[in-house]
Chains A and B, each alone.
Chain A
Amino acid sequence: KGHLELGSWGKRFRTKSRTLHSVHVLQMRFMLLFSRQGKLRLQKWYLATSDKERKKMVRELMQVVLARKPKMCSFLEWRDLKVVYKRYASLYFCCAIEGQDNELITLELIHRYVELLDKYFGSVCELDIIFNFEKAYFILDEFLMGGDVQDTSKKSVLKAIEQADLLQEVRARDSEEEEE
Chain B
Amino acid sequence: KSKEAEIKRINKELANIRSKFKGDKALDGYSKKKYVCKLLFIFLLGHDIDFGHMEAVNLLSSNRYTEKQIGYLFISVLVNSNSELIRLINNAIKNDLASRNPTFMGLALHCIANVGSREMAEAFAGEIPKILVAGDTMDSVKQSAALCLLRLYRTSPDLVPMGDWTSRVVHLLNDQHLGVVTAATSLISTLAQKNPEEFKTSVSLAVSRLSRIVTSASTDLQDYTYYFVPAPWLSVKLLRLLQCYPPPDPAVRGRLTECLETILNKAQEPPKSKKVQHSNAKNAVLFEAISLIIHHDSEPNLLVRACNQLGQFLQHRETNLRYLALESMCTLASSEFSHEAVKTHIETVINALKTERDVSVRQRAVDLLYAMCDRSNAQQIVAEMLSYLETADYSIREEIVLKVAILAEKYAVDYTWYVDTILNLIRIAGDYVSEEVWYRVIQIVINRDDVQGYAAKTVFEALQAPACHENLVKVGGYILGEFGNLIAGDPRSSPLIQFDLLHSKFHLCSVPTRALLLSTYIKFVNLFPEVKTTIQDVLRSDSQLKNADVELQQRAVEYLRLSTVASTDILATVLEEMPPFPERESSILAKLKKKKGPSTVTDLEETKRERSADVNGGPEPAPASTSAASTPSPSADLLGLGATPPAPAAPPPSSGGLLVDVFSDSASSVAPLAPGSEDNFARFVCKNNGVLFENQLLQIGLKSEFRQNLGRMFIFYGNKTSTQFLNFTPTLICADDLQSNLNLQTKPVDPTVDGGAQVQQVVNIECVSDFTEAPVLNIQFRYGGTFQNVSVKLPITLNKFFQPTEMASQDFFQRWKQLSNPQQEVQNIFKAKHPMDTEITKAKIIGFGSALLEEVDPNPANFVGAGIIHTRNTQIGCLLRLEPNLQAQMYRLTLRTSKDTVSQRLCELLSEQF
Contact = CB atoms under 8 A, between A and B. Distances in A.
Contacts of A141: 76, 110, 114
Interface string B9-40: 00000000000000000000010001001001
- A71, A156, A171 — which one has the most chain B CB atoms within 10 A of its CB? A156
A149 B234 CA distance: 9
Contacts of B109: 145
A75 B888 contact: no
Interface stretch (B91-99, B185-193, B717-725): B185-193
Given A9-B158, A48-B81, A152-B234, A164 B196 contact: no
B103 A163 contact: yes
Given A15-B197, A156-B223, A21 B232 contact: no
A24 interface: yes
A48 B80 contact: yes
Contacts of B233: 105, 109, 149, 152
B239 to A, nearest CB: 9
A36 to B, nearest CB: 16
Interface stretch (B139-147, B439-447, B452-460): B139-147
B226 A151 contact: no
A8 B195 contact: no
A21 B196 contact: yes
Contacts of A169: 64, 66
Interface string A5-19: 011111111011111
Given A21-B193, A146-B116, A16 B150 contact: no
A151 B183 contact: yes
A148 B150 contact: yes
Interface stretch (B276-284, B736-744, B867-875): B276-284
Given A102-B288, A163-B103, A169-B64, A8 B116 contact: no
B66 A105 contact: no
Contacts of A16: 827
B236 A102 contact: yes
Contacts of B363: 77
A20 interface: yes
B890 interface: yes
A127 interface: no
B894 interface: yes
A37 interface: no
A64 B189 CA distance: 33
Q: How many B residues are at the interface, by size bracket?
A: 35 or more
B65 A40 contact: no
B40 to A, nearest CB: 7
A108 B189 contact: no
Interface stretch (B527-535, B747-755, B792-800, B814-822): B814-822
B302 interface: no
B197 A75 contact: no
A108 B813 contact: no
B284 A104 contact: yes
Given A21-B817, A137-B77, A164 B323 contact: no
A77 B46 CA distance: 26
Contacts of A155: 223
B472 interface: no
A105 B236 contact: yes
Given A24-B244, A75-B323, A76-B360, A150 B143 contact: yes
B829 A13 contact: yes
A27 B196 contact: no
A142 B69 CA distance: 13
A49 to B, nearest CB: 9
Interface in B353-401: 357-358, 360-361, 363
B278 to A, nearest CB: 10
A134 B73 contact: yes
Given A72-B358, A133-B44, A21 B81 contact: no
The secondary-structure label for the interface of chain A is: mixed
Interface string B268-288: 000000000100110111011
Contacts of B106: 160
Nearest to A23: B813
Contacts of B77: 137
B284 A105 contact: yes
Interface string A78-116: 001000000000000000001110111101110110000
B85 to A, nearest CB: 16
Contacts of A24: 189, 193, 240, 243-244, 295
Contacts of B151: 145-146
B669 interface: no
A94 to B, nearest CB: 15
B281 A108 contact: yes
Given A145-B151, A146-B150, A22 B814 contact: yes
B163 interface: yes
A74 B361 CA distance: 10
Contact of B193 (A25, A109, A152, A174): A25
A148 B113 CA distance: 11
Contacts of B113: 145-146
A105 B281 contact: yes
A168 B360 CA distance: 48
A69 B358 CA distance: 9
Contacts of A42: 44
Contact of B244 (A6, A25, A72, A98): A25
Contacts of A103: 284, 287, 320, 324
B198 interface: yes
B323 A8 contact: no
A17 B224 contact: no
B46 A148 contact: no
A9 B232 contact: no
A168 B65 contact: yes
B885 interface: yes
Interface string B858-886: 10000000000000000000000100010
Interface in B165-191: 178-179, 182-183, 186, 189-190
A15 B226 contact: no
B668 interface: no
A3 B890 contact: yes
B322 interface: yes
Contacts of A98: 810
A13 B892 contact: yes
Given A23-B193, A104-B283, A134-B70, A150 B147 contact: yes
A148 B186 contact: yes
A63 interface: no
Contacts of B154: 27, 146
B887 A9 contact: yes
A23 B144 CA distance: 23
A153 interface: yes
A102 B284 contact: yes
B87 to A, nearest CB: 18
A145 to B, nearest CB: 4
A164 B69 contact: yes
A18 B244 contact: no
B666 interface: no
B186 A25 contact: yes
A148 B73 contact: no
26 contacts: A13-B829, A15-B195, A18-B196, A20-B816, A21-B196, A23-B193, A24-B189, A25-B193, A25-B241, A71-B358, A72-B358, A73-B319, A73-B323, A75-B323, A102-B236, A102-B284, A108-B232, A145-B143, A149-B186, A151-B140, A151-B143, A153-B178, A153-B179, A164-B69, A174-B30, A178-B34
Given A21-B193, A151-B183, 16 more contacts: A20-B881, A22-B817, A43-B44, A73-B361, A74-B320, A99-B810, A102-B287, A112-B226, A141-B114, A145-B183, A146-B154, A148-B150, A149-B233, A152-B178, A153-B179, A160-B106
Top 7 nearest A-B pairs by Cβ distance? Answer: A104-B284, A146-B151, A167-B65, A22-B813, A105-B284, A151-B179, A145-B147
Interface of A: 3, 6-13, 15-27, 39-43, 48, 50-51, 69, 71-77, 80, 98-100, 102-105, 107-109, 111-112, 133-134, 137-138, 141, 145-146, 148-156, 160, 163-164, 167-169, 171, 174, 177-178
